[in-house]
Structure 1
Amino acid sequence: MPDNCPTPETDPVKCSNETGESSQVICEICAETKEASQMFRNQRCHHSFCSDCVTKQVAIKIQDGITVVSCPGLDCKSVLELDACRPWIPKDLLERWDQALCEALFLAAPKYYCPFKDCSAMLLIENEEREDHQAIREAECPVCHRLFCAKCDVPWHPGVNCEEFQGMDENERKREDLIVIELAKEQKWKRCPNCRFFVEKTEGCVHIVCRCHYEFCYRCGGQWTSTHGDCEPN
């Protein structure tokens, strides 16, 4: 074999025999005789095809919405890589392939949406190793710059943890209600277990009769009974 001819370990290049004639290779797909310079060799499996057949294979897959382009070799499990195919296929097809790969990655990435209805920006999770994006709680939308809770998928609920918020009724989750709840915690008000109304004790014993006539202990929050004695606050 002449020294300037390609070996299986090198990329195919145009070579000449002793008479100066260029070497020719038969494409495994179209069975046409091609110049060595027209041949593409897949480094993953070493199948070799002409640039026309490689271009057709990529074009068909991209048209069908398939971004992982399989090697056209018979029963071959390898794939064609975009960078390896770059010198062999047209620029417009490369751009379509590259765009399709980006879109596939974008669609597969974990994401959620800003909970503010006048924004609703789609947000991607930067660290895909997180098993649960809801481990992130307080977050800021990079578009509208408002705070929200990624665990509850709602605007940020200050002073109320996620477990408590998720246990609330829908009509208790408004911002003004959350402000009252935060204030109640600061003032150490108690909530009637029956009607959920906040009660503030300024003086007297811990026996509370709510406006709904439910009786409870201001110290522990439990129902008041005739045998109710010393108790620990809950």
Structure 2
Amino acid sequence: MVTINFRECIICFEKKFRNYRNYRKITTKCTHEEDICLECINKYIDTDIEKFESISQFDQEVKIKITCPVPKCYKLMERNDIKKIATKDIYERYDFLTYKLAVQKIPGFRWCQASCGSGQIHIGEDPIFICKGCDKSSCYNHGILWHENITCEKYDEMNKQSETATEQYLSNSKRCPNCNLYIDKIEGCDHMTCKCSHQFCMSCLHEFPGHETTCKSKISRMNLLNCTLFDLCNRC
């Protein structure tokens, strides 16, 4: 009698013949059974590579750490592990990403911000560096395309003004606890009525009527010159 050995993948739950084409040891340090099929492992690796590609655009010090997806394993997948288990295309993406992360740690190195894929070491104090691949100009200091007719100092000043305006706007805005829509308080008391008809306190976000115990509107209730929300406010 011939026994056909099938195994169910713990991710896709498909039963596949247990052989090297469908199941492999994920890392050399793994001690668990081979419970995840090759197709699911490749999808997992591909997703992690995409995640690190996104992070590397903002954090040049990021390190690729892809761990075994089997619950409670967490063994790190080394380069040779990925090479043995990943498809040719996925491994090439992984290899190129590790190369990029290594290169961008070189002092003075910057990537072209025109997204041409080129990068170079910038020499000199001039913040403008011109890509040798596409001739586009980028800003060495800010990591963006060159800000035409604006010095780096002026660009910093404009950014600071923009950040201050944003902080001021957010300080006067809160999300409705019911529908999550931003509500702006321009004047008046803290009794808010959202477009979704939900009523709440702008200070503590407690649903009408009432407040949190530390709410400033509740604490100021004895001050008749201040709109004291719900109890004393005639405008609500």
TM over 0.5: no
If the length of structure 1 is used for normalisation, what is the TM-score?
0.37
Structure with the greater alpha carbon radius of gyration = 1
Of structures 1 and 2, the one with the larger relative CO (CA 8 A, separation 6+) is 2
If the length of structure 2 is used for normalisation, what is the TM-score?
0.37
